[in-house]
């Protein structure tokens, strides 16, 4: 008895070439979850908060909900909910970065603009409850609040633009 006979079929590679491999599920789902959570926060919740504070402040100044002005309750609750979605998006992105080693200028710019908008967003939430009493300081505070809010929203939008660039680069469209 000698060695068993080998199969006469040609040797097949054990794994497909890199261009034919599918991405690991965590990598794909991580990107989708990050994008979904950030879009819900920045495209749905934050505009609702901005709209309610900007346009319903005078309209519903005598309507109360949870012992506060109606517009303020909607404004605060949607911003805190957006903060939870942003925290979830950061967590998923961090998990995804541990598994995925893709890097480019668009990814780096997305990260920098994203963190800048998130830091401005948190500063807005922290500074929101504090109001100056003097009219001159109050006007300055309102202007700074509006300015930081606009910068934060522009950076968030640009960050999502670079997210699209990242997705195109990963799919090979660039």
Query: Phi and psi for 65 in degrees, rounded to 5?
Result: -145, 130
Q: Taking the model in full, what pTM does it have? A: 0.70
Backbone angles phi, psi at 68, to 5 degrees: -135, 170
Q: What are the pLDDT digits (tens) for 48-83?
A: 988 888 888 777 667 777 777 888 888 889 999 999
Is 44:85 a contact under the CB 8 Å cutoff?
A: no
Q: What percent of the chain has pLDDT over 90?
A: 9
Tell me the C-alpha distance between 133 and 68, whole Å: 19
What's the maximum distance between 2 C-alpha atoms anywhere in the chain?
Answer: 101
Q: Which residues pair with 69 in a beta bridge?
A: 64
């Amino acid at each position: 008895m000698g060695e068993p006979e080998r199969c006469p079929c040609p040797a097949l590679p054990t794994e497909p070439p890199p261009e034919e491999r599918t991405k690991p599920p965590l990598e794909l789902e991580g990107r989708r979850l990050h994008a979904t959570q950030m879009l819900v926060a920045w495209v749905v919740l934050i505009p609702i908060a901005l709209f309610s504070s900007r346009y319903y402040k005078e309209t519903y100044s005598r309507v109360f909900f949870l012992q506060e002005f109606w517009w303020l309750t909607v404004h605060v609750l949607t911003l805190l909910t957006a903060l939870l979605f942003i925290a979830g998006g950061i967590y998923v992105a961090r998990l995804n970065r541990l598994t995925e080693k893709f890097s480019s200028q668009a990814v780096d710019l997305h990260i920098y603009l994203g963190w800048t908008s998130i830091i401005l967003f948190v500063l807005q939430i922290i500074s929101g409850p504090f109001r100056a009493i003097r009219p001159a300081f109050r006007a300055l505070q309102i202007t700074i609040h509006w300015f930081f809010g606009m910068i934060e929203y522009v950076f968030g939008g640009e960050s999502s633009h670079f997210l699209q660039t990242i997705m195109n680069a990963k799919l090979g469209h660039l």
